[in-house]
Amino acid sequence: MVAPSTGVNSLRELIALAKREPGKLNYGSSSATGRVATEAFRQMAGIDAVHIPYKTSAQAITDLVGGQLHFLITDAGLGIAQAQGGKLKALAITSAQRVPAVPDLPTMAEAGLPGYEFTAWLALFAPARTPPAAVARIAELANGIVRSRGMQEYLARMYALPYPGSPDALRQLVERDTARWGQLIKAAGIEPE
């Protein structure tokens, strides 16, 4: 998302502006997810921008609308509503694929940053000694919920994509993201608060 005052209409334009004026643009974050997603963007795009921390996404969006912030990666549910109302400009979505509820919004890769993908996810976990049969049954029930029409409709309203899968697929996802984002967090110097 960008503030209309930036005059930016695409991700490529934002990257070009940031490269023309290193260290002059700022961005906000109100969560570890938003901060890491933006650090990945900054590193991959090769831009320098100033981080401004916020306690809530609503505060960051208010400052983005008001022009105090230049850009922000935020939850789609919050940002897209502001863009649809004309208060902000949505440049891209961070997932690897477009979201059906906003089919005209390109992915970051499509918009000019090949290879960029950042997806926040939610999962169910059980204690380490949970019997495998119980884990399999919980996964089966959870996947049934995710595939249900009601959940599909809810996720669409939240601009989210379903990701049903097996316990093994979840383990692989956790291992991959822990390694991937752990390296980025260290490289960016992000400290736990």
- One digit per residue, the tens of pLDDT, for the chain of length 193 reads 998 889 999 999 999 999 999 999 999 998 888 899 999 999 999 999 999 999 998 999 999 999 999 999 988 888 888 888 888 999 999 999 998 888 999 999 999 999 999 988 889 999 999 999 999 999 999 999 999 999 999 988 888 888 888 999 999 999 998 888 888 788 777 776 6
Long-range pairs for 170-175: beta carbons < 8 A, 24 or more residues apart: 170/123, 173/121, 173/123, 174/123
pLDDT value at position 193?
62
Domain residue spans in the chain?
A: 4-118, 121-193
pLDDT value at position 192?
66
Asked if residues 18 and 46 have their Cβ atoms less than 8 Å apart, the reply is no
Asked if residues 54 and 24 have their Cβ atoms less than 8 Å apart, the reply is no
pLDDT value at position 68?
94
Exposed e or buried b per residue across 164-178, where buried means at least 16 C-beta atoms within 10 angstroms of its C-beta: ebebeebeeeeeeee
The residue to which tokens 């809530």 are assigned: 56
pLDDT value at position 166?
92
Distance, CA of 42 to CA of 26 (rounded, Å): 11
- What pTM value is reported for the model? 0.84
The fold adopted by the segment(s) 4-118 is: D-Maltodextrin-Binding Protein; domain 2 (3.40.190)
pLDDT value at position 85?
85
Residues 6+ apart with CB under 8 A from 133: none
